[in-house]
Each structure stands twice: as C-alpha cells, then as structure tokens.
Amino acid sequence: MAAGRYNFQIEQGSTVDFTINYTDSNSTPIDLTDYEARMDIRPEAGSDTLYATLSSSINTDFTGIHMQPPNPDGAGVLPKSSGSLRIYISAATSSAFDFRAAQYDLEIYSGSVPVTVNKILVGQINLTKEVTTSP
C-alpha cells in the first residue's frame, strides 16, 4: 500500500500534538500491537542532515510517537489495537528547530524476524518562526 501524504506546520516554540489514525481501505483501524514507529525530519529525502528523530521510545520531555499509554492513566493515547499514532513534539524541542521547510516520513516496523517495515505517511513540514522567546 502506498504511503499517504500529509503536510503540516509547526509553530516554533509551541507544542505539537496530533493523532494519526492508521486504517485500511474500509476505514477499519489497523492493529499495531506488534509494531513500533519512527519518523525522521530532514531538509529533503536522502539528506545526511537530521533535524529530529521521533520514535515510539518516548523522550524525557514526552517528544515521540505515542502508541500506547505513556503513564498509568493513559491520558490521550489509545491502545495499539486502535491504529492510533499520537505525534508529540514538546515546546522545548520545537524551539530548537531552525529550518524553513523540511520533509518527513513515518514508518511502522515489526520486531519479528524478518523485520517488516511499512512507510505509512510522508510530507512536508513548514516552520513558523517564534517571536516571543521569554521563558
């Protein structure tokens, strides 16, 4: 299946928080129980420059791809069986971004042998520069 296309904007210094619902052609959620996720942000495809990597291994500031509850109450995150991937970039992380436009792709991959990788989303990210920078 070909990857979907989704372009979005990041406001530098602001929190990015949205959910992608991965479904089949009948709009049935795809169970991601045996999968992890990763996403690179680069100037363009094939570039050695890396602006950010997000993964299902969540950073200490919660930046990452949330595929299951990050805490006991599971606030804001649906189970992997729902096909939901929550993209979260903290305000501190987005403050460090210094690009005008970038490309990304979002992949899911299985940990089983052989490893299965599926690119599910690609697109462009436009950055609106921050004006207010006070702590």
Number of domains present in the structure of the chain: 1
SS3 71: coil
Q: What's the Cα-to-Cα distance from 85 to each of 47, 61, 98, 131, rounded to whole Å? A: 25, 17, 25, 30
Residue 135, pLDDT score? 66
CB neighbours of 51 closer than 8 A, spacing ≥ 6?
A: 41, 42, 43, 97, 99, 102
Q: Do the domain assignments include residue 119?
A: yes
Q: Do the domain assignments include residue 134?
A: no
Q: Do the domain assignments include residue 16?
A: yes
* Number of Cβ within a 10 Å radius of residue 50: 11
Q: Do the domain assignments include residue 67?
A: yes
Residue 75, pLDDT score? 58
Q: Do the domain assignments include residue 135?
A: no
Q: Do the domain assignments include residue 133?
A: no
74 touches 86 (CB < 8 A): no
- Give the CATH number for residue 80: 2.60.40.10
Q: Do the domain assignments include residue 81?
A: yes
84 touches 19 (CB < 8 A): yes
Residue 95, pLDDT score? 95
Tokens of 119: 């690119």
Q: Report the candidate in 63, 61, 62, 66 with the shortest Cα–Cα distance to residue 78.
A: 66
Expressed in angstroms, the distance from the first to the final Cα of the chain is 45
pLDDT in tens, the chain (135 residues): 689 999 999 999 999 999 999 999 999 999 999 999 999 999 999 999 999 999 998 899 999 999 875 554 555 667 888 999 999 999 999 999 999 999 999 999 997 778 999 999 999 999 999 998 776
The residue segments making up the domain with residue 123 are 4-128
Beta strands in the chain (DSSP E): 4-5, 8-11, 16-21, 35-42, 52-55, 64-66, 84-89, 101-110, 117-128
The pTM of the whole model exceeds 0.85: yes
Q: Do the domain assignments include residue 43?
A: yes
